[in-house]
Amino acid sequence: MKASNVTLRCWTILSTVLSLGLLVFILGFVYIKAQGVVTLNFILAKPAGFPVGSAGGIWPAIAGSLLVTLIAALSAGILAFFTAVYMVFYCRSPRFSLLLNLIIQCIAGIPSIVLGLFGYAFLVIKLELGLSLLASGLTLAIMIFPFIQIRLQKLFQETSQQLLDAAASLGVSQAYTIFNLLLPLYRKQILSIVALASGFAMGAAAPVMLTGCMMNAPVPKSITSPFMSLPYHLYVLIGQGISLENAYGTAFILMSLVLGLNLLAALPTILRMRGKP
């Protein structure tokens, strides 16, 4: 074997080990630091103590994070699905398609704090949504929209033209084929992409801190209520030196939820490898 091949092989193995090691190290570090903090009471109780967060738990932040992620995933998922469908199946102009792709890539490049500022100025103030779950959810939706749309577009582009022709030859409309053939066919992949994007949204602090997230709030009763979120709670606990132990506990719960979503996203691939439908 040539020396260059050996070097390349060693470098690729080292890179893989480093990547895996980094993940294990971060997980292990947070897990060890969070030990003794994460109890059932910590998960289910409201923040307490003075300053708030130095005692008690993080339930409102867990609920807030889950709800705001749900709003973001639903809004961005629906918008991204129809945009991808338009671009793959209806848009006949390559120039317009290129322009749309450029715009979507530009949205993907907007810094999250700028999205937070936009959400505050446009959704909270201009549209009078107030500091709310809805304003934060929609801001997060803008953030994850390109993430979902680009992947859905790629997925739909892989559809065999022959399959589409076979469906068209039965005299059914394109819309019928999209909803009754392609949607069931890609259901698992679509859910997987949305789950992955949800994990991305759940971990973001900047877009929610200006649009509805509070240091202390109860579990939101409606989409117009302000709320707590895990990443912002974590930021406050560390930034204001309230409780480093509780910060690690919060980080552990946040990571568990994000990893759970990522595992959910990987489920179709895992099942396929194990030979299940």
Partner 1 sequence: MNDHLSLKSLNVAIGSAKILQDVNLTIFQNKVLAVIGPSGCGKTTLLRTINRLIEEESQARVSGEILFRGKSTQQIPLTKLRKDIGLVFQQPLPFPMSIYDNLAYALKYHGVKGKDSLTEIIEANLKLCGLYEEVKDHLFMSALKLSGGQQQRLCIARSLCVEPEVLLMDEPCSSLDIHNTKLIEDLILKLSAHYTIVIVTHNLQQARRIADYTAFFLDGRLIELNTTTEFFTSPRAEASKQYLEGLFG
Query: Please, which residue, 99 or 166, has the CB nearer to partner 1?
Result: 166
Q: Which two tokens stand for residue 112?
A: 């999250």
**CA–CA distance, 84 with 132 (Å, rounded to integer):** 29
Query: Please, which residue, 173 or 240, has the CB nearer to partner 1?
Result: 173
Q: Per CB under 8 A, does 275 bind partner 1?
A: no
Q: Per CB under 8 A, does 117 bind partner 1?
A: no
The 8-class DSSP code of residue 180 comes to I
Q: Per CB under 8 A, does 185 bind partner 1?
A: yes
**CA–CA distance, 54 with 33 (Å, rounded to integer):** 16
Query: Please, which residue, 94 or 109, has the CB nearer to partner 1?
Result: 94
Query: Please, which residue, 92 or 221, has the CB nearer to partner 1?
Result: 92
Applying CB under 8 A, the span of 66-74, 76-84, 108-116, 170-178 interacting with partner 1 comes to: 170-178
CB of 185 to partner 1, least distance (A): 6
Q: Which two tokens stand for residue 85?
A: 């469908």
CB of 191 to partner 1, least distance (A): 17
Counting residues that bind partner 1 (by CB under 8 A) gives 18
Cβ-contact 48, 228 below 8 angstroms:
no
Out of 2, 4, 5, 184, the residue judged to bind partner 1 by CB under 8 A: 184
Out of 19, 180, 240, 269, the residue judged to bind partner 1 by CB under 8 A: 180
Locate all alpha helices (DSSP H) within the chain, ordered by sequence.
3-34, 40-44, 59-85, 94-108, 112-118, 133-157, 161-168, 174-177, 183-202, 206-209, 230-239, 244-273
Report which of 200, 220, 246 is spatially closest to residue 52, judged by C-alpha positions. Answer: 246
HSE-CB at 85 with a 13 A cutoff on CA atoms is 16
Query: Please, which residue, 26 or 185, has the CB nearer to partner 1?
Result: 185
Query: Please, which residue, 44 or 163, has the CB nearer to partner 1?
Result: 163
70 to 99, contacts with partner 1 by CB under 8 A? 92
CB of 166 to partner 1, least distance (A): 4
- Contacts for 73 with CB less than 8 Å, ≥ 6 apart: 141, 144, 194, 195, 197, 198, 201
Out of 37, 85, 167, 236, the residue judged to bind partner 1 by CB under 8 A: 167
Applying CB under 8 A, the span of 104-112, 163-171, 188-196, 259-267 interacting with partner 1 comes to: 163-171
CA distances (Å), 212 to each of 45, 54, 107, in order?
A: 21, 22, 21
**CA–CA distance, 74 with 262 (Å, rounded to integer):** 17
Out of 169, 221, 274, 275, the residue judged to bind partner 1 by CB under 8 A: 169
Q: Per CB under 8 A, does 8 bind partner 1?
A: no
**CA–CA distance, 142 with 103 (Å, rounded to integer):** 12
Query: Please, which residue, 16 or 173, has the CB nearer to partner 1?
Result: 173
Residues that bind partner 1 in the complex, under the rule CB under 8 A: 92, 162-173, 176, 180-181, 184-185
